[in-house]
Chain A
Amino acid sequence: MKQKIILETKNVSKVYDSNGLVVKAVDEVNLRVKAGEFVGLVGPSGSGKTTMLAMLATLLRETGGSLLIDKQDLGSMSDAQRTKFRREKIGFTFQSNNLVPYLTALENVELMLRLNKTNGRKSRERAIDLLTRLGLEDRLHSLPSQLSGGQQQRVAIARSLIHDPSVVLADEPTASLDTERANQVVQIFADLIHEGQRAGIMVTHDLRMCKYADKIVQMVDGKISRVITERSEIDLLAGTSKFDQLPNNENVEERRWLKKRALISQNLEHLPAGV
């Protein structure tokens, strides 16, 4: 069965020019994500992953090329249209500060519905169902300060899905979680993307999280350097992280760096060019 393409970028570029310092953060990237497809976006620090997500989330305007979501050209929209588009069509999980501190878990999820004026008794039930699926049925009325990091991220994931968005984006959602929690969160995230036939992109530095993705896109210096679609290769990538064996108190930065190096140096050839 051929899935329809929900998200597409055509030679999209982003050049930052701050006081004469020109940085080409994203360089003519072509990317397609189909309905029900979950993409893992990896790459070294500064390779343009967050910039890419920001453009897809209509938070940042491209400086070249174009981005299409549900066949709508993001670049042609006014700021107000983009704000509206963002709250209707896009779900976002950030690395931190996802939740409104004075709203309960349930209220935070419902916030997305309120913004879209689709809140009500029926949608409240959906929000409760979703939070229950994420294992939070006992914490519906807890404030974010009363939740653990993992619980907070699960609330954020529920918030990013409740309004039935076409595209779900997440920037290192598991950065603050331990391995077990991270696995749980990403697995449910992947399931919900598959079930809802949404286009999902998750930026991660943790290669083990790639095993839940259907496609891995690696960026280096603003360009897509590698795309992995074969299941066996994805599993290999996700499983070859020998650094898992390092003791827990090992320097986190170093682990990240080692993992990145492992990815970059991985000898995976015969990949199709482009996407």
Chain B
Amino acid sequence: MSIYLSLKEVWRNKGRFFLFSMVIALIAVLVLFTAGLGEGLASANKEYLEKLDATLLVFQEGTGYSTIESRLDYQKVKRVQRVEGVSNAGPIGFSNVEIVLDGGLDPIDVSFIGTETGKPGLPAPIIGETIRSKQSKVVMIDERIAESANISVGDYITIKSTQGTEDKFYDLRVTGITDGQQYFFQPSIFVSLAIWDKYRPKADASVSSSRPITNIIAVQLQNPENMASMAALIESAIKDVEISDIKTAYESAPGYSAQQNTLNTMKGFTFLIGVLVIGGFFQIQTLQKVPQIGMLKAIGTPNPVVAVASILQIIFVTVFGVALGGLAVLGLALGMPPSVPILFTGTSVLIAVASLLLIGPLGGLVSIRVALKVEPLTALGM
């Protein structure tokens, strides 16, 4: 009965309800884009770390879990490896280089990451082969680079790295392509730590690589559940290090939390606006319907039927509006260049959709109250 009444009402007032669905659709587009942007920016920031096959990260003490500030002696990798309960440990070095492209194309800025074969830190290729030897001049590249610069396995790429005041160019053969591995808003390329140490940009070209260094050490545990106690154990066993889990590491990246908080505030306010707009609109609408609701009750319509009918139409309109907005966002997302940092796959987008669907019922609570309080006697003008 409630469904019948609300469907009829929506159907016979298609224009008005459609217009209102459009408002909800626009709110949905806003919220979804904000959520997508948050997800996209976060991912661009942390994708590599988040996908990293390790439980703990070892940093130089006092660097506040900053991958760039941290410098570790290569010897520490071996020492970490020997700690009881550690199953594998690998060094990771981060820096930035440019891939130089022929044919007048703009160079691509990339994260230049050095890792060791068979250690955590080197992602598995989705096409081609992984890096097998420490000294071979091969590279694995992020699929984004492969796609945008049209590079395939077997091709050579040239990287530009500044050594002192001089620009140096190095050729590397592409041996494999990895899935998305962005870090610090740049897609990544992977080489062995030895090659990395040789080719990475240095302030002074004469710095010898006789004592290789690494930025951090990724640690796999025999039992990842012992994360906390293992962190303490490693910290006490090795001098001058601090340990974090992966999540703490990317959340400590400069600007990450501030950025996410800003976006979350935006989402929250847009959501609030949605609730208020819907609530206001339907409250006015319900107030206008008081005589009609009174009449319905006076001819014997039970109170719950009237209340449910008034919330159902709000739900219809919201669901329709959110679906409309979702489709619009989908359409826009498909037409967007891959460089735009918007991602619609993460949980935050799912949460956004779920909360958008809550806008209606929340805003409609006032209307229900109004509808429930109408006295059937109003039908008699009393």
Q: Which residues of A contact B (CB under 8 A)?
A: 50-51, 53-54, 57, 59-60, 80, 83-84, 86-88, 90, 92, 94-98, 100-103, 107, 111-112, 114-115, 143, 159, 171
B10 to nearest A CB, angstroms?
A: 9
B15 within 8 A of A: no
Known: A53-B380, A54-B377. A102 touches B299 (CB 8 A): no
Contact B299 A159 (CB under 8 A): yes
Contact of B292 among A51, A53, A87, A101 (CB under 8 A): A101
Residues of B within 8 A of A112 (CB): 299
Do B300 and A100 touch (CB < 8 A)? no
How long is the Cα–Cα vector from A101 to B295 in the complex, in angstroms? 11
- In whole angstroms, what is the CA distance A159 to B296 when docked? 12
| 15 residue pairs from A and B, CB less than 8 Å apart | A54-B382, A59-B377, A59-B380, A80-B302, A84-B300, A86-B299, A86-B300, A87-B299, A94-B295, A97-B292, A97-B295, A98-B295, A100-B5, A114-B1, A171-B380
Which residue of chain B lies nearest to A79 when distances are taken between CB atoms in the complex? B303
Q: Are B380 and A114 in contact (CB under 8 A)?
A: no
Which residues of A sit under 8 angstroms from B377, Cβ to Cβ? 54, 59-60
Q: Which residue of B294, B295, B298 contacts A57 across the interface (Cβ within 8 Å)? A: B298
11 further A-B pairs in the complex, CB-CB below 8 A; given A60-B377, A94-B380, A103-B8: A51-B382, A54-B380, A59-B379, A86-B299, A87-B301, A92-B298, A100-B292, A100-B295, A100-B296, A143-B12, A159-B299
Main secondary structure of the interface of B (DSSP, over half): helix
Contacts of B376 in A (CB 8 A): 59
* A-B residue pairs, 7 tightest by C-beta: A87-B300, A102-B12, A86-B300, A97-B291, A102-B9, A94-B379, A59-B376
The answer to whether A83 and B13 touch across the interface, beta carbons within 8 angstroms, is: no
Chain B residues, CB < 8 A from A107:
8
Partner of B13, one of A54, A90, A102: A102
How far does the alpha carbon of A83 sit from the alpha carbon of B292 in the complex, in Å? 17
Check if B104 is an interface residue, CB within 8 A of chain A: no
Point out which of A50, A94, A95 has the most chain B C-beta atoms below 10 A from its C-beta. A94
**In chain B, residues 301-330, which have Cβ atoms closer than 8 Å to a Cβ of chain A?**
301-303
Task: Report how far A114 CA is from B381 CA in the complex, Å.
Answer: 25
- Nearest neighbor of A103 in chain B, beta-carbon distance: B8
B residues within 8 Å of A by Cβ? 1, 4-5, 8-9, 11-13, 291-292, 294-303, 376-377, 379-382
Compute how far the CA of A143 lies from the CA of B8 in the bound complex, rounded to whole angstroms.
12
Nearest CB of B to A55, in Å: 11
Question: Which residues from chain B contact A50 at a C-beta distance below 8 Å?
Answer: 380-382
- Chain A residues near B297 (CB-CB < 8 A): 83
A98 cross-chain contacts in B, Cβ below 8 A: 295
Known: A50-B382, A54-B377. A115 touches B295 (CB 8 A): no
Q: Which of B4, B299, B380, B381 has the most CB of A within 10 A?
A: B299
Instruction: Check if B298 sits within 8 Å of A114, measured CB to CB.
Output: no
Q: Considering the chains assembled together, what is the distance between the CA atoms of A171 and B377 in angstroms?
A: 12
**A215 vs B382: C-alpha distance when bound (angstroms):** 26
CA distance A88 to B302 in the complex (A): 12
What chain A residues lie within 8 Å of B302 (beta carbons)? 80, 83
> Is the beta-carbon distance between A59 and B13 smaller than 8 angstroms?
no
The verdict on A114 contacting B382 (CB below 8 Å), with A57-B298, A59-B377, A100-B292 known, is: no
Are A83 and B300 within 8 A (Cβ)? yes
| Cβ–Cβ < 8 Å partners of B13 in chain A | 102
- Bound CA span A257–B36, Å: 71
Q: CA separation between A103 and B291, bound complex, in Å? A: 15
Q: Which residue of B lies closest to A102 (CB)?
A: B12
Distance between A127 CB and nearest chain B CB, rounded to angstroms: 15
CB distance A115 to B1 under 8 Å?
yes
Across the interface, which residues of B come within 8 angstroms of A86, CB to CB?
298-300
Residues of A near B1 (CB, < 8 A) are 114-115
What residues of B have a CB within 8 angstroms of the CB of A57 in the complex? 298
Known: A54-B382, A95-B381, A171-B380. A59 touches B298 (CB 8 A): yes
- Docked pose: A101 CA to B291 CA in angstroms: 11
> CA of A100 to CA of B297 in the docked complex: distance in angstroms?
12
Shortest Cβ gap from A203 to chain B (Å):
10
Chain A residue numbers with a CB within 8 Å of B301 are 83, 87, 115
Instruction: State how many angstroms separate the Cβ of A108 from the closest Cβ of chain B.
Output: 10
Smallest Cβ distance from A206 to chain B, in angstroms?
Answer: 17
A94 CB contacts on chain B under 8 angstroms? 295, 298, 379-381
With A60-B377, A86-B300 in contact, do A114 and B291 touch (Cβ < 8 Å)? no
Inter-chain CA distance A114–B2, complex, in Å, is: 11
Query: Which residues does chain A contribute within 8 Å of B11, judged by CB atoms?
Result: 102
The distance from the CB of B293 to the nearest CB of chain A, in whole angstroms, is 10
Q: B residues within 8 A CB of A59?
A: 298, 376-377, 379-380
Q: A92 and B382: CB pair below 8 A?
A: no
Q: How far is the CB of A165 from chain B (nearest CB, A)?
A: 10
> Once the chains are docked, how many angstroms separate the CA of A60 from the CA of B1?
25
What residues of A have a CB within 8 angstroms of the CB of B8 in the complex?
102-103, 107
A115 touches B380 (CB 8 A): no
- For A100, what are the chain B residues with a Cβ–Cβ distance below 8 Å? 5, 292, 295-296
Least distance between B217 CB and chain A CB atoms (Å) = 69
Contacts of B298 in A (CB 8 A): 57, 59, 86, 92, 94
| Docked complex Cα distance between A135 and B301 (Å) | 27
| Closest beta carbon of chain B to A225's beta carbon, Å | 22
**Distance of A61 from chain B, by nearest CB (Å):** 11
Q: Is the CB of A115 within 8 A of B291?
A: no
CA A107 – CA B1 in complex, angstroms?
Answer: 13
Question: Are A115 and B300 neighbours in the complex by a CB distance under 8 Å?
Answer: yes
Task: Kindly state the separation between the CA atoms of A51 and B12 in the bound complex, as whole angstroms.
Answer: 35
Complex Cα spacing A51 to B381, Å: 11
Cβ–Cβ < 8 Å partners of A111 in chain B: 299
Known: A60-B377, A102-B8. A115 touches B299 (CB 8 A): yes
A181 to B204, CA, bound (A): 104
- Residues in B neighbouring A97, C-beta threshold 8 A: 291-292, 294-295, 379
Task: Provide the residues of chain B in CB contact with A92, threshold 8 Å.
Answer: 298-299, 379
